[in-house]
Amino acid sequence: MKYQQLQQYLRQEISSKALPAGTKIPSIRQLSQQFSYSKSTVIKALHKLEQEHIIYSVPQKGYFVTENSIPQDNLPKQIDFLSAGPDTSYFSFENLTHCSNQILINRQKEILSYGQPIGMERLRKQILNYFQNQQIFTSINRLIITSGAQQAVNILMNMPFPNGRENILVEQPTYPGILQAAHLTNHNIFGIDLSDNQFDLEQLEYLFKNHEIKFFYLMSRFQNPLGHSYTATEKQKIITLAEKYDVYLVEDDYLGDLDLDKKMTRYFQKIHLVELFI
């Protein structure tokens, strides 16, 4: 097809450095006249190249060359899971630069303002669609975007809950950030042992019953630092106890997408639940 021929020609010009990074692509009119193609054909070819992050558009100025993404063959063969942070070698900084340039060009007023306190509406809509695909159904007004789990935990520590309680229950060991948040906000914090990947439901019921627990903070899958994941049976029993003693669950499921079992039932969505995703 004609647009594919033009697309391939421009790709070769960019690959050979005949059109180096930052160079302005000939205008739609120029390309249309040079190749005797319709403007719609030229526009389609340029849009395809833009989708590949080979070029980017500047309103009222035209298209410019950017760097392409890192070839897959150049990526490292191993992933380091020691750190909780992602391996930066897997990031395409060229694509990030391209996206940043598009934002700086097209969203100037938005990036210079405070924005919505609960998070950008377009992003919340995308998260809502993601939740629906995971069989989690809620409304966009119930989604709040924070800078990470630490900020979310601090907010939850300070806001009143309908059960009127203040004590916090966590897995032991757990994410250090929640311990710091409890210390800074003068909350009492209780722990339930996860040693040897064993979870004591009798101890959980004792703590729920006797210590006025506001919420139970837990990592349902691939818990940090032990790697523990709750079974469907354990989740159902935790739900039963939480409902019985009016305790909220704060689920930090930041590694949930690493679960290969896509059919795993998300039981924790069915009761008093605040979910934290990163």
Least-confidence region, from 13-17, 73-77, 250-254: 73-77
Give the number of domains in the chain.
2
Burial status of residue 70 (CB atoms within 10 A of its CB: 0-12, 13-18, 19 or more) = middle
pLDDT, average across residues 117-129: 90
| Domain CATH number, residue 52 | 1.10.10.10
Full residue range of the structural domain in which residue 230 is found = 146-276
pLDDT in tens, 236-250: 999 999 999 999 999
**Could you tell me how many residues make up the chain?**
278
Q: Same domain for 107 and 194?
A: no
Strands 189-193 and 167-172: parallel
The residues with which 191 forms a beta bridge, in sequence order, are: 170
pLDDT, average across residues 58-80: 65
Q: Same domain for 187 and 101?
A: no
pLDDT in tens, 128-180: 998 888 778 889 998 999 988 888 999 999 999 999 999 999 999 998 889 98
Residue 257 has pLDDT above 90, yes or no: no
pLDDT at 226: 86
In a domain, 125, yes or no: no
Q: Same domain for 82 and 192?
A: no
The model carries a pTM of 0.66
pLDDT at 71: 38
pLDDT, average across residues 23-33: 93
Q: Same domain for 151 and 272?
A: yes
Residue 75 has pLDDT above 60, yes or no: no
Burial status of residue 23 (CB atoms within 10 A of its CB: 0-12, 13-18, 19 or more) = middle
